[in-house]
Structure 1
């Protein structure tokens, strides 16, 4: 009988999922890919493989975990294994520029962004925002890496040439339009099996001066998966959320073979939606879910179980749960 294999590099982010898998009696195994090897001539085991590799793995000392994961996913896909969030999902997780191109291809509006390598080019790009606020962020990010708000090019020049400049792990710094929101919150839409599950409104008031469009990613304080009870008021599941953007997001995920994701957007003062992040390593806030009676990890575990059932049926095996 096959198993559910969880591909990751951070045990703290898998415990809620494995707890649900245990509750459902589903067999699983964790592949922690901070280091290791893959025999490319071997045959992968049967089962369902769920990739939740993170773009911020290098901040936990796992610099090459995504690269190893890329090799593993290529191996699994070569042998036509069932993979959730495969090679394309990993590519977008690690590359915000690629995210924005995928969003553009889907007709979804993003903040105006310039990708740069080299401090002098970052400064040159910032000149295109003369008279307007802009932000920096890392191309391969997560956790709000490199996010800074600037009002003038001179301030950016001092930053990139000063001791506090954060060098991106892939060398690419994004210079991005600052979206001024009329109210200090962003919205994160969660998808399981490529279908909309729920939307979370995230209060960014305490980090508003940094960047409302990325405040939900700046440190643990603004992480939608945060577990600090003192911060629970910052997160709220939006009941009966039904915006047309959801259909666009679902098509985007289908076109890019992404099954599990959290997509974040912000509205400007005119009410226009700007989408700025596709997170394929999504988490859920358990306390907020408890209040709303919606459980992301439970639904994900069920979805993985259904996929495993299909695999086992093809193999002539019955899954017990």
Structure 2
């Protein structure tokens, strides 16, 4: 497959295999079904992992949540109410919107032109610089993804406290393009076949096959646990002609689902996903797939969140081919 460059197999020899049940805390973040439950030494509720933070930072986090809720209702007035009177918003094209009224008009126009748009924020950094000032850095994940070059929308927001309430005084968006190679569904040829990962008696078996006249790859997976019980799920991967990029649709055994936007890299692929677990907890992740050779690849999930709470990256896991059915 043209999108993959062979990597020295010494990487596999130096890699520590991770016990399969501990790979993921939330199954919706896993494209291959490597684990279905949290390890016994991890809290069952992702919110339990949130570190202690000041009440002020909690209030700013609540404002970010309120922004997403208002945005997803397409309520431009409610979005604008979260800014200061003289706020400044610079979008990723460099256009400057000065003042709350101009910001409200901009969002109203955007919602009118994008009737189905939804957003979710991933806060990478939130720090308080003084009693009345804080800075937030993060990423905005929009669904459906915008057309054009693959990349990620990053933002920096300056929050100020006005009359006892935190408001956004300045926000700057930046579109960071991904460095990608030309891609097509044919680049997924490498995945076709049967794959396994196993350790300590827990086994993951996945099968990738062409469907719909080779326009999509269907990946089904089954995890066999120590007690003999099995869980399964599936993923579809194909070209989205509207967004002009590779996209995946994931369906997990707990009833959750996720959509991923795939971008080719020199080592393989990365997929930026946004989804929900079966109980409605929103999830995000960045999943990496890197080819070792024709019969093995490495998978890792990073920048993961569940319910707005950051989760640790998984370790790298080697997935090995058992057969090919091309």
TM-score range, shorter chain: under 0.3
Alignment TM-score, normalising by the size of structure 1: 0.26
Alignment TM-score, normalising by the size of structure 2: 0.26
Larger Rg: 2
Q: Which structure has more strand as a fraction of its residues?
A: 2
Q: Which structure has more helix as a fraction of its residues?
A: 1
